[in-house]
Structure 1
Amino acid sequence: MSENSLEPFLSWFQKYGGSVDADLVGFAMFPESEGGRGVVALKDIPEAHVLFSIPRSLTLSIRTSSLPSRFGASAWQKMKLDQGWTGLILCMMWETARGTSSKWLEYFDTLPTHFDTPMFWNQADLTELAGTSVIEKLGREEAEQSYTEKLLPAIQTRPDIFSPEQAEYYSLASYHLMGSRILSRSFSVEKWNSGEEENENSNTPNSRADEMDVDSSEGPEGAEEKIDESHHDEMEEEDEEDDSSDTAMVPMADMLNARYGSENARLFDDENELRMISIKPIKAGEQIWNTFGDLPNSELLRRYGHVDLLPLSKGGLGNPGDVVEIRADIAVSVTAQRHLSLTSESSQERIEWWLEEGGDDMFVLESDLELPEPLISLIRLLLLEQGEWETARRKGKPPKPKVDAVILSIVHDVLETRLKAYPTTLQEDEGKVSEQISTNVKHAIVVRMGEKRILHDTLMKVRDLQTQGNGKGVKKREGAEDSGSAQKRSRK
């Protein structure tokens, strides 16, 4: 899309108080591998330069749309539209249905109308993701349940607001489209005093989901920074009334593409506006990237419908940020086979205690091949004799993540078991990915290849450690936490 075709949007953006440094910032079409339409540096841009600014009132959220106040604050909460994304999705549906009466008409014209994310794949393509965590995180059934149990009843109670003649704007297909727009393009912004809008919607707190965080700390030119790296799956319905941020669609900011290790601009909070600021010098002709967290290909595919293929340190192409998730139940099952005196009742008791103490139910392997310390600690907990277990529970301390020959043997079997979840081998994938196949299938193969490489390399490391002697040389990762955390980023 050329800059000329964006003229209505740019005129709208400036009409409502947005500003762009048009001398330095332009728009261009890049190859699909680089994100498609994006933002480009027209001239050399210095570090800490304001590329554009967006008035907070121009962002679209349940605080800036007038729908919640028209619906009624108490009714909005009663219908649970203040939880998860359902309320924002409904606002976007309603604003779209309003057409020229909506403040955001020109903005909607810039949003994608089609997504290549697995949410929209057919069943045959989805089977290619078997073994990955993508399927479990799609949340399609949960999303459609939310549509049926929350959104439709809300619409049906207010035909004066949601005209039955405009039913196509409130369809399930539209619901998935708006949800995908939020998943791929929303930001988490700090709440602010918005005057009349604040008073209208002050009783409609929203729940943050997979949106991208906005920095609000002492950043360039005095901007304030707040970085929250928590992560929630799509359509998660946690009630976070004490949350200090809003999920919002941010015009202009969502036009920047994202790529692993390429971020050169970041969005910062000010009292009355958001500002996109360069965080390093950008050469003329370079794309301006706003990544905020380097996601693995599994998450890139789930949220945005693409994967990163970059040179890897060990050769080949892939995503250096790829990870593999291992469910705790795999570790429990494998360990139980080694500790025959561990009854199912005792095992369940230990697992419940582990979770109550904040232990992980999912362990993450990264490309650095470090063995997750929480995984080792859980295995040791399950291996404790009854008296040792009772002592650990009384003290409230899980076992230290010490590695020995027994632990390495169990970890080895856990990794082997995890590999069996994929219906194909790494060698088969490497042969198939070069064939004439659809984009969806290729992306699925790229995701599982990245995960399998990490599993294979970690297995090799475990075998080397076994050869060296009972895990000597296993070190605690500097700055490691007892529990892993997933980064959160939402962008196209």
Structure 2
Amino acid sequence: MSNLSGFIKWFQASGGSIDIGSMGFVDFPPSEGGRGAVALNDIPEGHTLFTIPRSLTLSTRTSTLPKVFGLSEWKERKLHEGWVGLILCMMWEAANTSSSKWGPYLDTLPTEFSTPMFWPEDDLKALEGSSVVEKLGRDDAERDYYQKLIPAVESRPNLFLPDHISVYYSLEVYHVMGSRILSRSFDVERWELDDSGEDAPTDQPDGAMDVDLPGPVNAQGVDHTEGGSEGGDGSDEEDASDTSMVPMADMLNARYQTENAKLFYEEKVLRMVSTKPIKAGEQIWNTYGDLPNAELLRRYGHVDLLPLGSGIDGNPGDVLELRADLTISAASSLDPTISPESSKERIEWWLEEGGDDVFALERESPLPDVLISFIHLISLGEDGWSKVQSKGKPPKPKIDALVLSIAIRSLEQKMKTYPTSLKQDEETLETSLSLNKRNALIVVMGEKRILRDVLADCRSQLQALERKEAGQSKRRAEESDKGGAQAKKSRR
């Protein structure tokens, strides 16, 4: 295991502590997460596996580069937004590895990734229909590279030696550093004083991997890239300086609902603690927040397969993402008065009120209320739209025939975005495939199963409503006929 011995010595010499009698490191196959930690002995719940001094985390807050560069110019060049600043710090530390505080740590980080960001076009085609490809954000990342990072590097040849640019500051290295952040970073906020003057953690934002506050507060991990350079637009309100590389903690793998250790942060250290007993030989798992396979593949380059019943393996956390524009398109095919142009004002209002333009459909769950409410919103008449505006609340999520009809058409259109059927995918999965294509197939199959099940449920509900309406119409007709017959009899 390259550089691991030197890394552990560096970690301990830098103030970190590790229970080397309780945990060790093993190289697992890529499909199982790669290098990870295992228990060398039985580990009880609540046992501290290792601690990391806050000063040993690598961020724009702990690297000296922003101060050396000049904080005012750093902000003027927008290096404090998203991940571009942290990527530049990591590049600079790597370029000066012999004098860098984090040299031995950086030497242990991967240089190759199995994430779709690095896939050839032929492999990416296997993800067609899934939202994974559009979330890669390669164009946004490269825009930051050319418009922010390179101009900053070229402006300071005393810091970034010209002959180093092609080696340490290339676009390829930029993507590698971004992928390291995407797959291994944590959110580590400043520790501040509360109103009483006592030390207390600030409100913890969600991060790529879980960091728990002391006590019962739990922070679930979500995607960093909303405010990052690798696949984000920099619009997230979280403080980019919180995004940190955390030596040792990032060596643990994760798997759906398998977590047995979690990182807690305190005033001066971060502490990895076992959250349940771990048997000798078992892998020590952190958590990524029980993500769907689409996100696991995009961020970490692997997928989770667990028994789902009926002989099917998959990820219980899989979701199907349905975009709002597809729903509007489906609605307009049923009602020409509904279109992106006519719906623009309503969409803007929906987003301003905190709504999203992507709806997540889950396994074994009905249509989400938020999607039902959105469909009502775009299909309202002008009077109904005026009432919604005056109340300042979206329509109630009430199921009716129109909602089901639009949802069914949306799901049918979504199904057409996949070039193959679920049955074809199941047959292809039985053949010899590369790891990339196999993982891609598992992702789209999970989405298609959700799509199939939700579509069947919506059709069943619509048929039930139509039968109910037909029954009511028949009764009304019978009552009308009966009333007419009685009227005739009375006239006689």
What is the TM-score normalised by the length of structure 1? 0.87
What is aligned with 1:170?
169
Letter in 1 for 2:283: Q
Query: C-alpha separation between the residues in 2 aligned to 1:450 and 1:240?
Result: 29
Letter in 1 for 2:358: M
What displacement does 1:349 show? Answer: 2.1
Between the aligned residues of both structures, percent identity stands at 57
User: SS of the residue aligned with 2:253?
Assistant: coil
Q: Is the 8 A contact 2:37 2:251 kept in 1?
A: yes
The CA RMSD over aligned residues, in Å, is 2.1
What is aligned with 1:448?
444
Q: How does 1:365-376 map onto structure 2 within 5 Å?
A: 365-376=361-372
Deviates more, 1:209-218 or 1:357-366: 209-218
Aligned partner (choices 459, 462, 478) of residue 463 of structure 1: 459
User: Aligned pair 1:211/2:203, yes or no?
Assistant: no
Q: Is the 8 A contact 1:267 1:275 kept in 2?
A: yes
- Matched residue count: 452
Q: Is the 8 A contact 1:334 1:414 kept in 2?
A: yes
Letter in 1 for 2:208: E
What displacement does 1:358 show? Answer: 1.9
Q: 1:23 to 1:390 in 2, by over 3 A?
A: same
Query: C-alpha separation between the residues in 1 aligned to 2:402 and 2:8?
Result: 63
What is aligned with 1:98?
96
Residue deviations 1:274-307 (CA, integer Å, cap 9, x gap): 0001111111111000014111111111111111
Query: C-alpha separation between the residues in 2 aligned to 1:176 and 1:210?
Result: 20
User: SS of the residue aligned with 2:285?
Assistant: coil
Residue deviations 1:431-472 (CA, integer Å, cap 9, x gap): 111212221111111110110011011112122223333699
What is aligned with 1:272?
268
Q: Is the 8 A contact 1:403 1:470 kept in 2?
A: no
Letter in 1 for 2:289: G
What is aligned with 1:488?
none
Query: C-alpha separation between the residues in 2 aligned to 1:327 and 1:42?
Result: 47
Query: C-alpha separation between the residues in 1 aligned to 2:298 and 2:62?
Result: 28
Query: C-alpha separation between the residues in 2 aligned to 1:39 and 1:335?
Result: 51
User: SS of the residue aligned with 2:284?
Assistant: coil
Q: 1:385 to 1:471 in 2, by over 3 A?
A: farther
Residue deviations 1:321-355 (CA, integer Å, cap 9, x gap): 11110000111111123233446643222222222
Q: How does 1:430-441 map onto structure 2 within 5 Å?
A: 430-441=426-437
What is aligned with 2:158?
160
Query: C-alpha separation between the residues in 2 aligned to 1:212 and 1:242?
Result: 15
Query: C-alpha separation between the residues in 1 aligned to 2:337 and 2:319?
Result: 34
Greater relative contact order (CA < 8 Å, ≥ 6 in sequence): 1
What is aligned with 1:354?
350
Q: Is the 8 A contact 1:310 1:320 kept in 2?
A: yes
Q: Is the 8 A contact 2:328 2:340 kept in 1?
A: no
User: SS of the residue aligned with 1:276?
Assistant: strand
User: SS of the residue aligned with 1:453?
Assistant: helix
Q: Is the 8 A contact 1:209 1:247 kept in 2?
A: no
Deviates more, 1:243-252 or 1:413-422: 243-252
What is aligned with 1:400?
396
Letter in 2 for 1:93: M
Query: C-alpha separation between the residues in 1 aligned to 2:397 and 2:178?
Result: 40
What is aligned with 2:179?
180
Greater share of helix: 2
What is aligned with 1:289?
285
What displacement does 1:192 show? Answer: 3.7
Q: How does 1:207-286 map onto structure 2 within 5 Å?
A: 211-219=208-216, 229=222, 232-233=225-226, 234-235=228-229, 236-238=232-234, 243=239, 246-286=242-282
Aligned partner (choices 412, 415, 432) of residue 416 of structure 1: 412
Query: C-alpha separation between the residues in 2 aligned to 1:228 and 1:471?
Result: 45
Q: 1:160 to 1:471 in 2, by over 3 A?
A: farther
Query: C-alpha separation between the residues in 2 aligned to 1:394 and 1:310?
Result: 48
What displacement does 1:216 show? Answer: 1.3
What is aligned with 2:201?
none
Query: C-alpha separation between the residues in 2 aligned to 1:440 and 1:240?
Result: 30
What displacement does 1:82 show? Answer: 0.4
Q: Is the 8 A contact 1:266 1:292 kept in 2?
A: no
What is aligned with 1:478?
none
Q: Is the 8 A contact 2:132 2:298 kept in 1?
A: yes
Letter in 2 for 1:153: P
User: SS of the residue aligned with 2:188?
Assistant: strand
Residue deviations 1:12-65 (CA, integer Å, cap 9, x gap): 000011101112111122233321211011111111111100001111111111
What is aligned with 2:28?
30
Q: Is the 8 A contact 1:191 1:244 kept in 2?
A: no
Q: Is the 8 A contact 2:210 2:262 kept in 1?
A: no
Q: 1:240 to 1:469 in 2, by over 3 A?
A: closer
Letter in 1 for 2:117: M
Letter in 2 for 1:182: I
What displacement does 1:359 show? Answer: 1.9
What is aligned with 2:384?
388
Q: Is the 8 A contact 2:365 2:454 kept in 1?
A: yes
Q: Is the 8 A contact 2:80 2:241 kept in 1?
A: no
Letter in 1 for 2:38: V
Q: How does 1:15-26 map onto structure 2 within 5 Å?
A: 15-26=13-24
User: SS of the residue aligned with 2:254?
Assistant: coil
Aligned partner (choices 131, 145, 148) of residue 150 of structure 1: 148
What displacement does 1:226 show? Answer: 5.0
Query: C-alpha separation between the residues in 1 aligned to 2:176 and 2:113?
Result: 8
Query: C-alpha separation between the residues in 1 aligned to 2:118 and 2:223?
Result: 26
Letter in 2 for 1:355: L
